Amino acid sequence: MNLGKRVIEQLEQLATKGPKQVDAVILTSAPPQGYIIGVPAGAQEPSAAITLEAYDRYSVTLRQLEVSYSNSPVDENKDEDYLRQCTERVAGRLTYLEELLALLEFNAADNWAQLRSDPPHQENETLTYWEVLLGLVPRPRARLTRYRWTPGSSEREPVTYPATFAILGRVANDLALSLAKK
């Protein structure tokens, strides 16, 4: 079964049975409250962790989605090529988000890359954008987060995003396919 289907099944279980019946961590220390839903991996399969603020029967308020492979060691001789291929695949696959993604920073020495919306959504002077952070160490992983930046702010802030179970399943599966060794 692909990761997208497993994500959708896990979110449906959350919606019907509640967080105590799925692989979920209830976040109570940081307002507002939320959940981290785990989608475990089988042998040689990717896993996902979805951090969300709220949920209903068909959708969530997403904070972050992370996909990783735990059983996929990186070939030390091909880290840079593999990382470049992953960034190209992510940009090519996630074309259905509000903005297209483009490579912002590539750090071959530390095995990570950062993609962002290009161009970001702009409303007056406020910028809102997607960011995908790819890393290879200690395992291949991709983390998707939506951010907002306003002039005069010292830092950007993560923002929540309303997403259906189907979209989250699709994004998770596309991130997993982008990280897969070919």
**Which residue intervals of 74-180 are DSSP H helices?**
79-93, 165-179
Least reliable range by pLDDT among 2-11, 39-48, 67-76, 97-106: 67-76
Separation of alpha carbons 82 and 25, rounded Å: 32
Mean pLDDT of the chain: 88
Given this model, what pLDDT does residue 115 score? 98
User: Residue 159: which domain range?
Assistant: 3-179
pTM of the predicted model, to two decimals? 0.90
Say which residue, 181 or 21, is predicted with more confidence: 181
- Measuring CA to CA, which residue among 6, 33, 36, 7 is closest to residue 19? 36
Give tens-digit pLDDT for 36-79. Answer: 778 777 667 898 989 998 889 999 999 999 999 876 555 554 58
How many domains is the chain partitioned into structurally?
1
- At residue 116's C-alpha, the angle toward residues 88 and 132, to 5°, is 70
Given this model, what pLDDT does residue 137 score? 85
**Which residue intervals of 140-182 are DSSP H helices?**
165-179
Q: What is the DSSP letter of 33?
A: P
Angular region, 61: left φ>0, alpha ψ -120 to 50, beta rest: beta
